[in-house]
Chain A
Amino acid sequence: MPAISSKSVPPSVAGVDRDLDMSAHSAAIQARGLDFFYGEHQVLFNVSLTVPERSVTALIGPSGCGKSTFLRTLNRMNDLIEGSHCVGEILVEGQNIMDPAVDVVLLRKHVGMVFQKSTPFPKSIFDNVAYGPRVAGEKNRSVLADLVESCLKKSALWDEVKDRLTTSAMALSGGQQQRLCIARTLATNPHIILMDEPASALDPASTDRIENLIGELCANYTIVIVTHNMQQASRVSHQTAFFYKGILVETGPTMKIFTGPSEKQTEDYVTGRFG
């Protein structure tokens, strides 16, 4: 008997078909036996998770459960944190990114990231989007212009900013800044996009736009999103992973996690009994 009626789960956004059979998708990311430490303090315990390509995987769980830390291991962002280390294996499209020989600069172009706080650089809108390609060595002005336009279109920001590409990105609203950050991430031509609570600082209308955008993007990109908003997780994801105290408690199709989870802890969390 399902623990929760499927009627209580909100409809998914356009582009996210929650009944999609993920087994047909090959794995974009496979984490195996991941342990993570900040100094002596262990925050992830033996986490194993497979992310199918061209789909959305939501990571949920209460604050401090390790979901953001896990997300940040996928592009080795945690390397920047002094005194942290990680044990285990993460295969991104078959290649172990924990290998010391991996060039993190190339990895991060391939695995883009959008943060909770929108972080436009203090530059023009154009220069923000063109940042990644420029760092990668692209100098041709018309190539950059085409790229900026296509990325801003993909992030549904083009119509709002096409007449003021040279003005400072700092003048955009919070929601626009976040879509700019998504455009900027798309410009490095990643296969995978990691999103760390991308809408938690935004108003409902802007949140809506970001969620719809995720629905559009998942046709071409693999997306892993951390969210503390259960409704959002159920609207935008195909697969949901529930973390609790550094342990990956349960992973499954989003509909199953929200209507008939196997674990008691998962059920308590998604029904709002704790967290």
Chain B
Amino acid sequence: MMTQARPSWASRHISRRHEKLIQAALFLCAALSVLTTAAIILVLLTNAVYAPGVKTAFFERVSLWEFLTGMHWKPVDGDAGRFGIIPLLCGTLMVAVIASLVSVPAGLGAAIYMSEYAAPREREFLKPMLEILAGIPSVVYGFFALKFITPWILKPVFSLFEMNLQIFNTLSAGIVVGIMVTPLIASLSEDVIRSVPRSLREAAYALGSTRFDVSVRVVVPAALSGILAAFLLAFSRAVGETMAVTIAGGQQAIATLNPLQGAQTMTGFMVHASTGDSAADSISRMSIYAVGITLFAITLTINVISGWILRRYREVYQ
């Protein structure tokens, strides 16, 4: 009778306010990541480059030149401190390069297998398996390297050649980081490889190609830009990887390119120093930010290059 709903302007008004609230909340979600990035950059800069207030920033005490070219990393307060990033850079790059040597062939091979060779049922099994590999915590990989790969695989091999392998070494760290990023390369590469038009494959088969010819001469070249971008993204991940390399690579900051030795990486140093007890405004504490901003610059550069390659080499299919 009287419950007949009358068209209510008020409720419409509320629903419009609702809409606005939802929109604002969603905007905040989107803004969160941008704001976080901005905050991180701000913290890095105010500690590394220019510190307003009583603190003195890292680069106000150590010159950029000394930091970038110094061969010794000895992050202690006082006269004995040496702040050359080269040793940490060596550790990081060695791990990332070894990781790439492992993950590029393995990841690309897996991607080609899944998209060109595997029966649908096999692919349904393989993809989740790779995702499980990607889901293992990196600290587990670190112990896997330290307690299995080094003593049970690398040690026997290198002792055959009478080469001295240290307990902590960048080789084992690089190998596990390589295993960690393999699913990333495999999954990203498989996506771009599968987006190569079927007509291109058929044309190649019609010219008397084997499966392998089609894969390596037509499909991979056609997907090359995406594959390269995947490689770079994986490299960038390897550069930023922390836990596994801290555990398996050791804590010695020495400028060496010998993968059989331990070498501290940039991330490894940051973990180590953050848990130390040096004073908040001491130079040893500030050096964390200097290393952090260098790491950030490296990964950002790689990501920008990968984006550029994607645009530069993208083939256009009608």
Contacts and interface: CB of A to CB of B under 8 A. Distances in A.
B209 A105 contact: yes
A132 B222 CA distance: 17
Nearest to A76: B205
Contact of A136 (B200, B204, B205, B208): B208
Contact of B203 (A75, A109, A121, A136): A121
Interface stretch (A181-189, A223-231, A262-270): A181-189
Interface in B159-214: 197, 199-210, 213
A122 B208 contact: no
Contacts of A109: 207-208
A121 B206 contact: no
Given A77-B202, A119-B200, A135 B207 contact: yes
Contact of B207 (A80, A108, A122, A170): A108
B210 A121 contact: no
A105 B210 CA distance: 6
A108 B315 contact: no
A131 interface: yes
Which secondary structure dominates chain B's binding surface?
helix
A154 interface: no
A188 B203 contact: no
Contacts of B204: 121, 131
Contacts of A146: none
A117 interface: yes
Given A121-B222, A131-B217, A75 B315 contact: no
A106 interface: yes
B106 interface: no
Contacts of A185: 206-207
Contacts of A135: 207-210, 213, 217
Given A105-B209, A131-B207, A80 B202 contact: yes
Interface of A: 75, 77, 80, 82, 105-106, 108-109, 112-113, 115, 117, 119, 121-123, 131-132, 134-136, 170, 181, 184-185, 188
5 contacts: A77-B202, A109-B208, A121-B222, A131-B207, A170-B315
